Structure 1
Amino acid sequence: MAHPLMFDDADPLLRRLRELALSFPDAAEKVSHGHPAFYTTKVFAYFGGSVKVDGAYERHEHSVLVLLDPDERAALADDPRCYLPAYLAPAGWIGVDLDEDTDWDEIAELLDASYRRTAGPRRVARLDARSEPAR
């Protein structure tokens, strides 16, 4: 049984996240478990997540889930915008709520960190090559 879609394709927060995520080398989008997922060979970000509270799921419809190094994840742990997403938290994922005041430069940095953990050395080298200054 397919999961129902849990997002609005016209959502401006999704539109901005999509723009950032799809700017990475070979990045693509698919729907996974009802949410947009951004990936190369492995997923590096999801739009939307949930937390299990008293046996029920509390949705975070406007959030991004990223896979971070343990130190980066720990640095965000006390941030009130952040949460440990159901199912994915034990694997190192963290959710960050998005709103109209979101610092998109920070989100771009988190996407970059997650991409680097999942994309493989060739893609990371391509990412690094495009950000080097021209000589």
Structure 2
Amino acid sequence: MIDPADPLVVRVRTICMTFPEALEAVAWGRPTFRAGKKIFVMMSSSMDRPNSIVFKPAGDERLAHLEDPRFFSPPYWGPSGWLGIDVDQPTTDWTELAELIDTSYRQVALQRQLRALDSR
């Protein structure tokens, strides 16, 4: 689905793998990044948007994100509250993307993982 050596995947991986107990696993032909067993970021929301990530926003932020045209409700994951954003745009703000990934990690991480993250 998407090459794990793609520069966008490498850049997302660089962010995701800094989190405590972060793992990378291929699922559905896509790299996924997990806090233990739970996915917090998935590359490539669909065949139509291969250069995107799917992430889990904080519940109170989801509707605000959806008012921003950069965000979309991805197939399969959207009904569960997840969002997608394209990462191949010249205007991609990688600092903001790192913050979105941090929030997503915090939505699925175990308490010990959160303590490890916050103790840094």
Q: Structure 1 length as normaliser, TM-score?
A: 0.83
SS in 2 for 1:96: strand
Q: CA deviation at 1:11?
A: 1.4
Structure 1 unaligned residues grouped into runs of 5+: 1-5, 51-57, 131-135
Which of 67, 73, 78 is residue 78 of structure 1 equivalent to? 67
Q: Which residue of 1 aligns with 2:21?
A: 26
The two structures, once aligned, show a CA RMSD in angstroms of 1.2
Residue 45 of structure 1 corresponds to 41
CA distance in structure 2 between the aligned counterparts of 1:79 and 1:97, rounded to whole angstroms: 12
Alignment of 1:1-135 (within 5 A): 6-39=1-34, 40-50=36-46, 59-99=48-88, 100-130=90-120
Structure showing greater Rg: 1
* Equivalent residues, number: 118
Query: In structure 1, what is the Cα distance between the partners aligned to 2:12 and 2:105?
Result: 14
Instruction: Give SS of 2:119's match.
Output: helix
**Structure 1 or 2: more strand by fraction:** 1
Runs of 4+ in 1 over 3 A off after TM superposition: none
Identity score, percent: 43
State the alpha-carbon separation in 1 of the partners of residues 32 and 64 from structure 2: 24
Distance 2:117 2:48 in 1: 33
**TM-score of the superposed pair, with normalisation by structure 2:** 0.92
Q: State the shift of 1:59 in Å.
A: 1.7
